[in-house]
Amino acid sequence: MKHTMRWFGPDDPVSLMDIRQAGCRGVVTALHQIPVGDTWQPAEIKKRQQLVEAGNSGYSPLYWDVVESLPVHEDIKKGRPARRIFIDRYIQSLRNLANSGIRTVCYNFMPVLDWSRTNVSYKLPDGSMTLRYVLADFALFDLYILKRPDAEKDYDQPTREAAYKRWKSATRHELARLTDTILLGLPGTEEKFELAEFQGLLDAYRDVGEAGLRENLYHFLQEAGPAASEAGINLCIHPDDPPRPLLGLPRVVSTASDISRLFSAYPHSSNGLTFCTGSLGVRPDNNLPQMAETFASRIHFVHLRSTLREQNPLDFHEAPHLQGDVDMYAIVKTLKKEEQRRYAEGVQNAEIPMRPDHGFQMLDDLGKTTYPGYSAIGRLKGLAELRGLELAVEKELLFQSQ
């Protein structure tokens, strides 16, 4: 696999030199400064490429390898008439990226919220910090801070009771921190949704529903997919995180069935998947090794991380990369076999880009301000562990082939 690391641009406290020293060959980045729905112009793409490549020499050169993400405008997700304008702009952005030599584009179709946690600095017994999601805390926000109409219907009685107890005992500071965490905006920005406006964003999906969101996703793919295919772009959708409905919002990329239906909607191989083991692994009914085998040929980008479901299986936190509920050995083995198949069949760009997703805040990074989950040392530790596993799998496959 091609080892990459996510970089949020010039304001990222983790530098390109840090990524180069980690031994990565690819950078995963995006033009976060461009408003969602605007076209990515060739000059801006070139500027970012030059920034990534500025320190290149004969030793450990870096290149912009994967776009994560080229965001999909909310009007496309809602199926509004203006979606034609935004799809056309999206297609032009894809063409501009392809003309610049960038061929892998990650995106998601999660409405309003990109991803959700209830704690981005959960302290583990060893003093390191990680990301956590607790259903009762999320319900607390929904029921007593946001006060979403009819929200109580989405939670069972034990969850409602736990949320009420937490709300009654929480301090003003704890409630404010929970609110800020849930209202985090897109990765790569420090913007947050405003609570006063947030319910309106949810209300805009009231008449869309799961069937409507799924139909709008398929429409987007059927429009943008042929242009991506023609340009040689691999589109790879990121699964829902977490993979279940939130705040009354539908989710349509959470299970193997969802992914199968997605590929049937536009069957071309360019319609692919970002195989995020952390997002999909949260659901106990998702058999990740089996999903990796089933969708191997359509996996164009990989996020490797592990999560650990807690006593309440709907609660989870980020675990060390080789622990938790994800069978990382089985998944890496399947991915290496898929790479071997691609090489044998002469597939162009057969190597699958992979990045170590998320990482503990630990050691010298404790106390530093970084994007949640994206401090340097924790990801470096995860990358080192994954590299070791990958090398062992390569040796095993070589031995088996002799």
Could you give the angle at which helices 83-99 and 42-53 cross, rounded to 10 degrees? 40
Q: Which residue is listed with tokens 């964003």? A: 201
Burial class (CB in 10 A: 0-12, 13-18, 19+), 89: middle
Mean pLDDT of 268-273: 95
What are the residues facing 272 on neighbouring strands? 236
Q: Which residue numbers are catalytic?
A: 238, 276, 303, 357-358, 374
Mean pLDDT of 207-213: 95
pLDDT digits (tens, 9 = 90+) for 124-162: 999 999 999 999 999 999 999 999 999 999 999 999 999
**Does 188 score more than 60 pLDDT?**
no
How high is the pLDDT of residue 193? 83
Q: For the chain, percent helix, then strand, then coil, each to nearest 5?
A: 45, 15, 40
How high is the pLDDT of residue 348? 85
Pseudo-torsion of CA 230, 69, 391, 383, nearest 10°? 170
How high is the pLDDT of residue 114? 87
Alpha helices in 267-364, H assignment, sequence order: 277-281, 288-294, 328-344
Kindly state the percentage of the chain with pLDDT values over 70.
98
pLDDT digits (tens, 9 = 90+) for 46-95: 999 999 999 888 778 999 999 999 999 999 999 999 999 999 999 999 99
Average pLDDT, the chain: 95
Domain range summary for the chain, segments of one domain joined by +: 2-116+202-401
**Closest to 306 (Cα-Cα) out of 295, 316, 297, 292:** 316
C-alpha distances in Å from residue 345, one per residue of 336, 339, 352, 402: 14, 10, 15, 20
- Considering the domain 2-116+202-401, what is its CATH architecture? Alpha-Beta Barrel (3.20)
Six-digit token string for 182:
């849930």
Higher pLDDT, 187 or 317: 317
pTM to 2 decimals? 0.96
SS3 state at 167: helix
pLDDT digits (tens, 9 = 90+) for 224-252: 999 999 999 999 999 999 999 999 999 99
Burial pattern 318-339, b for ≥16 Cβ within 10 A else e, equals bbbbbebbbbbebbbbbbbebb
CA dihedral sign, ordered 227, 230, 233, 237: positive
* Peptide bond before residue 375 is cis, with ω within 30 degrees of 0: no
